[in-house]
Amino acid sequence: MKYKLNTLMIFLFTVQSMSAQSKKETEEWIITKFQEYSLVNNRDNNLLGNTHTLTIQNGNLILFDKLNNDTILYEKIPINKISTFDMSEVEKKYEGGYALYLFCQNRNYCIEQGTFIEGQNKFIKDNSINNYHIMLRLNSGFGENNIPNRMVKAIKHLVKLYGGKEIKEEREAF
């Protein structure tokens, strides 16, 4: 009887493990959905630019904003330091869409910001900027096909895979 119980437990654990997305699959899904739904053209090109790119490198989620003059700004947050997020719809008069805020643990300043030199693959940190959250702007199509809830689930899963603590939600219901 004990043998059958152990075999059943091993089987159930194996099935559960096989259904969970890997770190690489989760990262790719988040990046793909961000690129698909990124709010590219915005009302204030001087601040946010025209091109937004999201990537994950060395355990950091990095948002790149390429400005009109080819300057590339970046914001970097360690994935395992993400502890809270807030997702809300942006008012239609401000282009509509969604804003997804990712917050550092205990609202500590864990965001690195600065300029990225593309040809040299070099980050130049701006030490005068302190921030405890990063904002991803997404277009109105993001609200379709249960994507907001799937994004929430993917971010929670990724934080867990990187050894972070369970994320608290501070978001609107969709």
73-118 pLDDT, tens per residue? 999 999 999 998 888 877 654 567 888 999 998 888 999 999 998 8
Write down the pLDDT at residue 19.
52
Where do the H-state alpha helices sit in the chain?
A: 2-19, 23-37, 45-48, 147-161
Write b or e for each residue in 38-76: b if 16 or more Cβ atoms lie within 10 A of its Cβ, otherwise e.
Answer: bbeebeeeeebbeebebebeeebbbbbbbeeeeebbbbb
* Residue 81: both structure tokens together: 């330091």
The span from the CA of 65 to the CA of 71, in Å, is 8
Decide if 55 contacts 73 (C-beta within 8 A).
no
Strands 133-138 and 98-104: antiparallel
Write down the pLDDT at residue 103.
92
pLDDT reading at 160 higher than 90: yes
Residue with tokens 């929430």: 152
Residue with tokens 């550092």: 104
Choice between 139 and 57, residue whose per-residue pLDDT is larger? 57
The span from the CA of 40 to the CA of 43, in Å, is 10
Per residue in 115-133, pLDDT (tens digit) is 998 888 889 899 888 889 9
Decide if 81 contacts 112 (C-beta within 8 A).
no
Q: How far is CA 137 from CA 35, 44, 106, 172, in A?
A: 11, 13, 23, 15
Choice between 91 and 155, residue whose per-residue pLDDT is larger? 155
The span from the CA of 51 to the CA of 42, in Å, is 10
pTM comes to 0.77
- 55: helix, strand or coil: strand
